[in-house]
Every structure is written in C-alpha cells, then in structure tokens.
Chain A
Amino acid sequence: MQSFDLEAQGLRELNATLHAQADDTNQTAWEIDNPKGAHAIAVGLDAPIEVTVKGSTGYYCAGMNQQATVNVTGSAGPGVAENMMSGKVVIEGDASQYAGATGHGGLLVIKGNASSRCGISMKGINIVVHGNIGHMSGFMAQSGNMVVCGDAGDALGDSCYEARFFVRGSVKSLGADCEEKEMRPEHIEILKELLAEAECDAKPEEFKRYGSARNLYNFDVDNAAAY
C-alpha cells in the first residue's frame, strides 16, 4: 500500500505520481490522506491501480478515468468521474451535481444520493446510485445505463437518445421525449449485473425502465420548415 498525504505533498505531485504508474506497475494500491475537498484529485489516471481517497473531494475527482478504481470514503463535489472512459469510481457518501457527466465507459457507483444533472450527456458509462438523483438527470444522455435505487427528480432524461434509465422509486417528472418503457428479460439481466457490481441488494424486478420516445431526434419531414 502506497500512502500519499495530499496536504503535505500537493495535488500536482499526487496526479503526476499516479500518472507515472505503468500498466504493469507493482504499486497497485494507493491511499490518499487529507483530501479536504480539494479539486481534481486522481484525474486522468490510466493504469490498473486502486486509489482510495480518505475523506471528501471537491470538483472533478477521478475525471477522465481509464482502467483505475477510485474509491472516495466521503462525499464528492461537482463533476465526479466526468468523462470517465473505463474503470470504476465508488463514492461512499453523496455526489454533487453532474456526476458522471459525458462518461464514455466504466462504472460509477454513488452509495448516497446524487444531486442535479447526474449522468448529463452520458455516452456509455454505467451509473448506479443507491439513493436519489436530482433534477435534469440524464439530460441528452446518449448511451449507457443509469440505475437509481431511490427516487428521480424533475425532468428525468430530457432530450435523451439511447441511454437506459432504471428507477426503483418515484420519478418526479419525465423530461421532453422521455417515456416509461417495457422491462424485458435482457433489462433484468443488465440490472442484475450492475446491481451486483455496485454492491446493491435491490431486486431488478422492482425497477421501471425509462428511455427515449425517439420523437425528438429523428428528422421528420413534417418539421422541415422549422430547420
């Protein structure tokens, strides 16, 4: 286990040290002390390492992550795991706005609640939230799965493309062109896998599925005059 004191050694040193880890590094486990809400902790990692941040983080923790597993024992500020490509990010507490925004791949697990704009413009990332999500979540989401074990706020999935939203609790309102859809066996399978990986004991059968009604993003000749 490698330890790093962020307060003593500084952010630039931390990220440079983590970036220096090669694919075959022997230093696979890292612990970061004293995050104290600092921004951009463990951003841009690209190695199969496991990083545990002991405390709460500020803006953009674990952004652009590839391969690495990042655990945050506290809560995360805005933009956690933004544009993640692969790997896994786990937040033990809550996450602030636009968690997992624009993510292309990997898994983001939030064990508390996520606030507004969770998974905005997601492009293939999987997001599992044990609690609730705030308003405008999944806005313009393109692909990937967002699983919400609690409730969703206003305007879920507004103007979404082909992302899937699974919500166990209530949805305050659906966004434009987002609708409830049938749960088919393949969706139960997806959920089973994601819930297991996110250490969540909710049952797949308890969820409803939401997605695009596909009226908004297809060209419709009747609307030609509007272009």
Chain B
Amino acid sequence: MTDLIRAFAEAFDLISRLDAKLIEIVALSLAVSLTAVAIATILGLPLGALFAVGRFRGRQMVIVLLNALMGLPPVVVGLLVYLLLSRAGPLGALGILFTPTAMIIAQAILITPIIAALSRQTIEDAWHEYEEQLRSLGAQRLTASVTLLWDTRFSLVTIILAGFGRAAAEVGAVIIVGGNIDGVTRVMTTAIALETSKGDLPLALGLGIILVGLVVALNAGASVIKEAALRRYG
C-alpha cells in the first residue's frame, strides 16, 4: 500500500516540477505513437474498406488472417523489424536501427492490422445496411466505400483510438528496435521497464500513472472533437 501511495506521489512530483527528462520522454512517446497511428490509419482504412466492399477469391481467408494479425505479439514484430533493419539484414544499409523511425515502423506494422480489421467489420456492417440503396443510386464499389468511410467516421475514430492505445502501451517492439537509448529512443514504456529493473518500483509506477493519464487525456480530446463534429455535421 505504501508503494502505491509513493507511486502517486512520484507521479505528482514529476508532473508538478515539469521534469525536463520526463517531458522529453513523453514528447517522444507521443511523436512515435501518433505518427505510427497516422501511417496505420492511412494504410488501414482503405484496406478495411477494400475487404469490406470488395468481393474476390480468398476474401474469407484474408479476413481471417487480418483478424488474427490483431493479436501479433509486439516482441515478434520488434524482432522482425530488428532483423530487417540490422546492418546484417536486407535493409541494414538504411542505418535506421535504434532510431525513432525504426520504432514508428514497428508500431505501424503492429497496429495497421488492428485498424484494418476493425474498420473492415464496421464498414461491412454499414455496407449490408445500405448496399441496395447505394446500388440503386448507381454507386460503384469505390464510390460506395468512400461514402461508407464517411458514414461510419465516428465509429472509425474509436478504432483509431484503439490503435493508438495499443501503440502507446506496447514495450516489446520499441525496446528491441529502439534500444531504449537515453535521450534518443527512450519512451514511456521503455523507461518504465528500466525503472522496474532498477528496482525503483514507485517511480516506475508513477511513470505508468502518467502514461495512463496521457492516454485518457487524448481520448477525452478526441471525444470532445467528436461531439463537436456530431453537433455540426450530425
């Protein structure tokens, strides 16, 4: 119990004195995870729409695979990206291992299937509902998917937030491809892992509290924007 109280005290202390190191780590966490989410959204939503509306051989297989990929273990993704980006690997010449770029790549791979699979389901449900209507208007599949993406936009926000949550919370991938280098690739989750290793459990938990707080704040922000947009465009 005293450890928990100390953890909250640590968290409060770090925030109240705007610890420079903490700000740097939080900024990098947000930069990496938000960029990864942006990439995963740009890739995932069209993919989701394609699989929702498209009809092609092997579609069911692809959907099963996509759904399964939502459970990709971060450490496996990390290892895969590490082997690709390592100097001894096929993309080693890029020299981007142990950089934020490598971390963005790993997280984007991790969450693209989540955004694609969940948006596929949402869009497909909407497609079943509006298929006849859209067809009677003469909409092609492409036009239909754009319409459906726009129509389901509020549900898609939640899906994107789920992707962000996964990215911001994972440690397995970023610690392998980033290396947890102080001041370069240290993010919230790897800092928490490090402080746990040092046995400073209250500080580790304090950082955890800040991370959860950040995710809550971001979700609250998104919710406010969503409400405002709902009122305006209904």
A and B associate: no
Interface residues of A (CB under 8 A from B): none
